[in-house]
C-alpha cells in the first residue's frame, strides 16, 4: 500500500496528480502546513527537510518498504512502478523526460514560487523583487510556449515531466498572469486540465 503525504500546494498537487495518473492504489495523508504538521517528529523521518510531498510504499523495490520525498523523485517512482509510459522504459525517451522533469522540479517551480512569494504573499511591497520574478516567470512561460509549438507535450508524449509543470502553469500562468500571450502553452494546459486524473487530483480535501 502507498501512503501519499501531501497538501494543497503546487508540489503537493504534482504528487497527487502523478498518483492518480499511475492507476496505483494509494491513501491520501494530509499534512496540514498551516498547522505546521510537517514538523511532527514522525513526519520528519519520512521527509527530513519538513516538506510535502512524501510517500511511503510498503511494497517498494524487492518488496522492501521505502520512504521518499521530493516531488520529482516521487513522480519518477510512481511512473516507473506503474509502467504505463508516464516515465518511459525506452532510454532515449527517458533522456528528454529527465531533462524536463528536472527543469520542472528544480527551475520552473522553484522560481515560480519566488514569483508567488514576492508578488502575492509577501505583505511588504518590494518593487525590484516583484519586477524581477515577474520577468523570470514570463520568460519561463515563453520558453515553454516556444517548445510546445513543436511538441505536443514537453517530452513528446504525455509524461511525468508535464505533471511536474502543470500546477505552476495553472496557478500562476492561468490564474494570475494569463496565457493569452502563450497560445501553445494554453493548448497544453487545457489538454491536461480536462484529464479525469487531474480533476480527481485537484479535488479539495482537508485534514
Ligand atoms: N523540492 C521540493 C520542494 C517541496 C516544497 O517546497 N514543499 C513546500 C510546499 S510546496 C513545503 O512543504 N513547505 C513547508 C515547509 O517548508 O516547512 C519538491 O519538489 O518536493
pLDDT in tens, 189-206: 999 999 999 999 999 988
Which residue bears the cell 501519499?
4
Q: Can you spell out the DSSP letters for 41-103?
A: HHHHTT-TTS-S-EEEETT-GGG--EEEE-HHHHHHHHHHHHTSSSS-SSHHHHHHHHHHHHI
How does the average pLDDT of the chain come out, rounded?
97
- Buried b / exposed e across 136-175, counting CB within 10 Å, b at 16+? ebeebbeebbebbeebebbbebbbbbbbbbbbbbbbbbee
CATH architecture of 2-86: 3-Layer(aba) Sandwich (3.40)
CA of 92 to the centre of ligand 1 (A): 30
Closest CA to 184 of 149, 155, 153: 149
Pocket of ligand 1 (CB under 6 A): 9-11, 33, 38, 50-53, 70-72, 105
Domain ranges across the chain = 2-86, 91-196
Q: pLDDT tens, 9-59?
A: 999 999 999 999 999 999 999 999 999 999 999 999 999 999 999 999 999
Looking at the CA of residue 31, tell me the nearest atom of ligand 1.
12
DSSP H or E stretch at residue 114? helix 109-116
CATH architecture of 91-196: Up-down Bundle (1.20)
Residue 94 phi, psi (nearest 5): -60, -35
Q: pLDDT tens, 55-90?
A: 999 999 999 999 999 999 999 999 999 999 999 999
pTM, two decimals, is 0.97
Taking CA atoms only, the protein residue closest to ligand 1 atom 6 is 51
Cis peptide before 16 (omega within 30 of 0): no
Amino acid at each position: 500500500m502507498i501512503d501519499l503525504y501531501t497538501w494543497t500546494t503546487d508540489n503537493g498537487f504534482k504528487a497527487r496528480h502523478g498518483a492518480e495518473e499511475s492507476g496505483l492504489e494509494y491513501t491520501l495523508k494530509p499534512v496540514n502546513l498551516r498547522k505546521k504538521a510537517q514538523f511532527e517528529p514522525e513526519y520528519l523521518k519520512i521527509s527530513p527537510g519538513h516538506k510535502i510531498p512524501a510517500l511511503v510504499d510498503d511494497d517498494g523495490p524487492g518488496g522492501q518498504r521505502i520512504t521518499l520525498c521530493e516531488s520529482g523523485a516521487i513522480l519518477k517512482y510512481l511512473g516507473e512502478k506503474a509502467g504505463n509510459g508516464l516515465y518511459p522504459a525506452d532510454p532515449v525517451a527517458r533522456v528528454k523526460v529527465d531533462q524536463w522533469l528536472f527543469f520542472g522540479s528544480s527551475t520552473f517551480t522553484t522560481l515560480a514560487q519566488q514569483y508567488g512569494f514576492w508578488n502575492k504573499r509577501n505583505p511588504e511591497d518590494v518593487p525590484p523583487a516583484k519586477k524581477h520574478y515577474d520577468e523570470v516567470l514570463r520568460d519561463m512561460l515563453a520558453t515553454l510556449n516556444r517548445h510546445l509549438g513543436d511538441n505536443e507535450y514537453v517530452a513528446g508524449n504525455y509524461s511525468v515531466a508535464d505533471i511536474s509543470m502543470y500546477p505552476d502553469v495553472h496557478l500562476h500562468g492561468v490564474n494570475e498572469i494569463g496565457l493569452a500571450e502563450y497560445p501553445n502553452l494554453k493548448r497544453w494546459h487545457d489538454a491536461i486540465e480536462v484529464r479525469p486524473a487531474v480533476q480527481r487530483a485537484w479535488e479539495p480535501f482537508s485534514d
